[in-house]
Amino acid sequence: MKAELKNIDKYEINRGSVVKKRLTNVPVPVSRGNRRDDGTPSPNAEGNYIRRMKKRAKTIKEKCRNCFSVGNAVLVGLTFDKQKCADIDLKDIKQTHKEFNKFIKRVNRRYEGFCYVATFDKQGMGNWHYHMMCNFPVAGNYIEARIILENLWQNGRVYFSEVLSERHFNNCVRYMNRNMFNHDSDKRGIKGYLASRNAKGKIVVSSGRVTDKQKFKKIDNDVKQYTLEEIYSTKKRVGFIQEINGTKDVIVDFDNQYTFVPAGYQPLDMEITAFSYPVRYDNLFPRLETAKPKPNVPKKGSKKKADKPANKHSTDNNQTPQK
């Protein structure tokens, strides 16, 4: 596949960290995909799918780190009861996703600032179930929290545990990622995880993106006062290059096969150097706090009946007004 080479700088912003990456010899293709011209899947589609799953696992970790912390994080397990879900095919991911979305809507109607990241996996009987890291308010009231969650879930049992240590937090994130990789053949064509809109992942600001020019310039000015701290430097084989009469001809192998070197071409490596800065942009992410109950607000269209003022002339049916 033909491509052009560019040098790109980009900032990767997470809660508590800012990393700048300098990328040299970045191949930019005109078009790409994992399907051939005849519409059949590429023989390397399996490898591409594995890479996407690894990228999703990294995204889940970043979202959990950016939105939760020890003290406000809760790991929740949602399972289905056949008796309560007799009209639902628990082996159909579309139907179980629909029930999960109903649960999220019920929680959002009752709590403000609710944030979650969830993965899903099959149980031994083939029924789907969900594991969710969220900021649901528990505060040690386990019995009350279980009753509330099961009333909101309405489909079966709910299991949960508060995240009270850094080690427990890391174990929970690894557990969720492991569930995403299980039964991956049944998850083809669907997103490997679910997350709320306010669950922000890594923010990437690139110099090669037209819409990021102003943001990149602002961050560049913010970090000038700090000293660069190199984290690592590496090279990645991206294809082959040949220069003829001052013109560079680049062949990129995005499937990472590299089974042969074309005649007259040399290997092409992309260089990546990462730097860390002490500057922080934590205000770009949601506040690390638990969800708060909303005040009781009447539904739209419903009018609360006002109490009629007492009428001194009103009487019971069996009485007559006194003169």
Q: Are residues 63 and 147 in the same domain?
A: yes
Q: Are residues 259 and 300 in the same domain?
A: no
Q: What is the pLDDT of residue 159?
A: 94
Residue 102 pLDDT greater than 90, yes or no: yes
Q: Are residues 189 and 80 in the same domain?
A: yes
Q: Are residues 84 and 195 in the same domain?
A: yes
Q: Are residues 191 and 296 in the same domain?
A: yes
Instruction: Give a yes or no: residue 318 inside a domain.
Output: no
Q: Are residues 91 and 185 in the same domain?
A: yes
Q: Are residues 221 and 97 in the same domain?
A: no
Instruction: Give a yes or no: residue 311 inside a domain.
Output: no
Q: How confident is the model at residue 319 (pLDDT cuts 50, 70, 90)?
A: very low
Q: Are residues 270 and 291 in the same domain?
A: no
Q: Are residues 72 and 104 in the same domain?
A: yes
Instruction: Give a yes or no: residue 321 inside a domain.
Output: no
The residue among 242 and 39 whose pLDDT is bigger is 242
Q: How many domains does the chain have?
A: 2
Instruction: Give a yes or no: residue 67 inside a domain.
Output: yes
What is the arithmetic mean of pLDDT over 140-159? 92
pLDDT (tens digit per residue) in 11-54:
999 998 999 999 998 877 655 555 555 566 666 677 777 888 88
Q: How confident is the model at residue 302 (pLDDT cuts 50, 70, 90)?
A: very low
Per-residue HEC secondary structure of 156-224 comes to CCEEEEECCCHHHHHHHHHHHHHHHHCCHHHHCCCCCCEECCCCCCCEEEECCCHHHHHHHHHHHHHHC
pTM of the model: 0.79
For residue 273, what are the domain limits?
1-32+202-285
Q: Are residues 14 and 69 in the same domain?
A: no
Q: Are residues 230 and 100 in the same domain?
A: no
Measured between alpha carbons, how far is 307 from 269 in angstroms, rounded to an integer? 78
Provide the 10 A C-beta neighbour count for residue 304.
6
Residue 278 pLDDT greater than 70, yes or no: yes
What is the arithmetic mean of pLDDT over 156-161? 93
- Where b means 16+ CB within 10 Å and e means fewer, 121-154 reads bbeeeebbbbbbbbbbbbeeeeeebeebbeebbe
Phi, psi (deg, nearest 5) at residue 278: -80, -5
Q: What is the pLDDT of residue 78?
A: 96
Measured between alpha carbons, how far is 23 from 25 in angstroms, rounded to an integer? 7
Q: Are residues 274 and 170 in the same domain?
A: no
Measured between alpha carbons, how far is 48 from 60 in angstroms, rounded to an integer? 19
